[in-house]
Structure 1
């Protein structure tokens, strides 16, 4: 099986600024430099034939160029038992539109539509169990804002799950108009 998702690669300067925030929360497993990205559409596990259909369905995908600024923080899950600590985006509308465009193409390729509401974000840390400091950390860093960066392409990634952390491999890049 091939585990896929579509996302945005982040500029190295933005990744470095995110890495500098990676401490001070009990129970957090911080993302490494090569794990930082912004997911546009999680696809999941596919057989090789379906994975090839996904690749073909995304060819020719184009969107008007736009820029992204990461801003603010949040938690998915309960404040004392979070699952994910994330950085949000200042203007999610272009990303939501791109997510919907990708989702339509994947549906035509035979995949089920996205079932969860799309919230553009970059995962900073994952949790197992309780964290007493996560909500305070979010409140302390709510004013975070990255430099704006232009989107030049979207990326189809393959995710390789491991004992410690997932490794992401670029499968293909698709240009923007």
Structure 2
């Protein structure tokens, strides 16, 4: 049975930042054993997860997002901490996150609204921008935290980059990397 593709809009990380994060993830794998680590080429910050979609709805979303981002300028983001979602002793998602950014929140709101205008029903949870690094705690022994210390050991200062593209990705579950770029929306 073939699995249905899913689609989402995200801020693309530049290639040099993906390479640095690849190195950091290699270091962290030794002390933070999660079962599934994300391929470094799949690193991104999700703005709106669409799920499965028809060509027509995707086309509408493309048009509305293009309009919404017409005058948006590129901006700087700073990756500065690690965290997790799920239970404290066995987290389900391990992530890196950026310092608070009004520009990132603004872009997310524009993309989110454009997708709703295109007919998508999106998650109503608050926006928690993050870069998923790994999933599923990989040990029977409880997770013990210490993530700030791990980040400080591998990166003594925030990791800065220019957020200059929003991308529409398609998920290819049985491939690695598994996110395929369908459309790029360059920021000015």
- Give the TM-score, by structure 2 length: 0.82
Determine whether 1:5 maps to 2:8.
yes
* Unmatched segments (≥5 aa) in structure 1: none
Determine whether 1:89 maps to 2:98.
yes
What SS class does the counterpart of residue 59 from structure 1 fall into?
A: helix
* Unmatched segments (≥5 aa) in structure 2: none
How many residue pairs get matched? 176
Q: Hey, what's the Cα distance between the residues in 2 that align with 1:131 and 1:70?
A: 30
C-alpha RMSD over aligned residues: 2.2
Q: 1:110/1:47 Cα in 2 relative to 1: closer, same or farther (>3 Å)? A: same
Larger % of helix: which? 2
Q: Hey, what's the Cα distance between the residues in 2 that align with 1:53 and 1:73?
A: 35
User: Match for 2:88 among 63, 79, 84?
Assistant: 79
What CA deviation, in whole Å up to 9, does each residue of 1:6-62 have, x standing for no partner?
112212221122122321222331111211111111111112222222222222323
CA contact (8 A) 1:159 1:166 kept: no
Give 1:85 shift: 0.5
- Give the TM-score, by structure 1 length: 0.87
Could you tell me which residue of structure 2 aligns to residue 48 of structure 1?
55
